[in-house]
Copies of this chain bind each other. A is one copy, B any other.
Amino acid sequence: MTASPVASLPLTAIAKATRQAARQLAVLPTEARNQAVEAIAQALEAATPEILAANAADCQAAQAEGIAKPLYNRLKLDETKLKAAIEGVRDVGKLADPVGTVQIQRELDEGLILKRITCPVGVLGIIFEARPDALIQITSLAIKSGNGVILKGGKEAIRSCETLVKAIHQGLSTTAVDAAAVQLLTTREEIRALLQLDEYVDLIIPRGSNEFVRYVQENTRIPVLGHADGICHLYIDRAAELQKAVEITVDAKTQYPAVCNAIETLLVHSAIAPTFLPLAAAALQKRNVELRGDEVTCQILEMAAATEEDWSTEYNDLVLSIKVVDSLEEAIAHINTYGSRHTDAIVTEDPNIADTFLNQVDSANVFHNCSTRFADGFRYGFGAEVGISTQKMPPRGPVGLEGLITYKYKVTGNGHIVAPYAGKDAKPFTHRDF
């Protein structure tokens, strides 16, 4: 069955169909899911001319409407970018199967066996902005992990998304995976409706601005895997090696300032501030970084004054706020107050101070003597990244396929009932792992 790429059914019917297809997909063996991922790669290759034409039409329309340059760059899908995305699909195919892992295997009593086994979450709702390559990546991750997916792309990418999903459906039609497992929504009004479908959708993954992610979190009972904001800090301890500290500072701020794991605030111990700050400032200004300092910083170096607002601002740009602190405790307290629990790092040669920092800073990623920019699923070796979560509960930090997986408890007995294990003279359990 090849579903229509443009959803023409009411949303509930679409969601039901996805749920149904996802139930079949969930129990397919590894090989069948890998074949489906490969079929998607081949179908995208075969449809390359159509995809590029559709994207060119999207780009033309977007330009006519005066789209902003960064959004245009994300929308644009040239042959190189498409090839890389298709390569990414094949990489997903090569990842270890996250489904069917036995996490617990335990005899509760003779003949009564408990197993905890990983399984797909069910149906994912993905809401993303312009980027058509995000559609390709998330669809391959969904199929790999045995999940159905309802996709909602930005309206500026509508022709690209429709053409991509048409190709994906064609690819899946030759496999054991029902094409209805992948659905595309095309109207903005459907977002609100999608967020209400907690009966059919098990996890929402919003990809977009911080405001959008927050909107989603506040308007649904479905669990949300949030790619939240990153107010990351780098703390230069009094026991820091200065050259190392300067290099890490420059990398963490300038290597890619628009992303969530770049730093926004530099904290410097007062004992080394007079020597470190001029070195750091010179290196940062060479990279055109605008500096904003607290009072003490401004006494050491002339720069714009940071206001209270700066400490909780994610610039996503070549701007850095700087604060001088008198102790490790003050640095940790500042981070735990103003940070977003994403990634925070310390530079120090004192291992005890490093330990205290890593233990007490309340963030998903805590780093010692390296750049915050390493906080990333690919760099961590997860193969693919679903997103970075700044929630406290797992999955936390960079989330790979693990975020699309849950588990169930299977218990097999031979007529076992609870009565003999309850009350006085209750039969004990053996609880023997094997």
- Interface set of A (CB-CB < 8 Å, partner B): 23, 26-27, 106, 108, 112, 114, 121-122, 202-203, 217-218, 221, 223, 241, 244, 247-248, 250-252, 255-256, 336, 354, 358-360, 362-371, 373-375, 379-381, 391-394, 396-398, 406-419, 421-422, 429, 431
Once A202-B392, A362-B23, A418-B373 are accepted as A-B contacts, the answer to whether A367 and B244 lie under 8 Å apart by CB is no
Given A248-B417, A396-B406, list of 10 further CB < 8 A pairs? A203-B393, A255-B418, A363-B408, A364-B408, A366-B408, A370-B412, A370-B416, A374-B411, A379-B421, A394-B406
Chain A at the B interface: SS class = mixed
A392 touches B122 (CB 8 A): yes
A370 touches B247 (CB 8 A): no
B366 touches A409 (CB 8 A): yes
A-B contact list, 20 entries, CB within 8 Å? A23-B360, A106-B381, A112-B374, A122-B362, A218-B221, A223-B391, A223-B392, A244-B414, A247-B417, A251-B417, A364-B408, A364-B409, A367-B411, A368-B411, A370-B411, A371-B417, A373-B417, A374-B411, A379-B429, A397-B407
Cα A363 to Cα B114 with chains together (Å): 15
A108 touches B374 (CB 8 A): yes
Report B-chain residues with C-beta under 8 Å of the C-beta of A367: 410-413
A359 touches B27 (CB 8 A): yes
B369 touches A413 (CB 8 A): yes
A108 touches B380 (CB 8 A): yes
Report B-chain residues with C-beta under 8 Å of the C-beta of A354: 412
Cα A250 to Cα B23 with chains together (Å): 31
Once A366-B410, A392-B121, A396-B408 are accepted as A-B contacts, the answer to whether A416 and B380 lie under 8 Å apart by CB is no
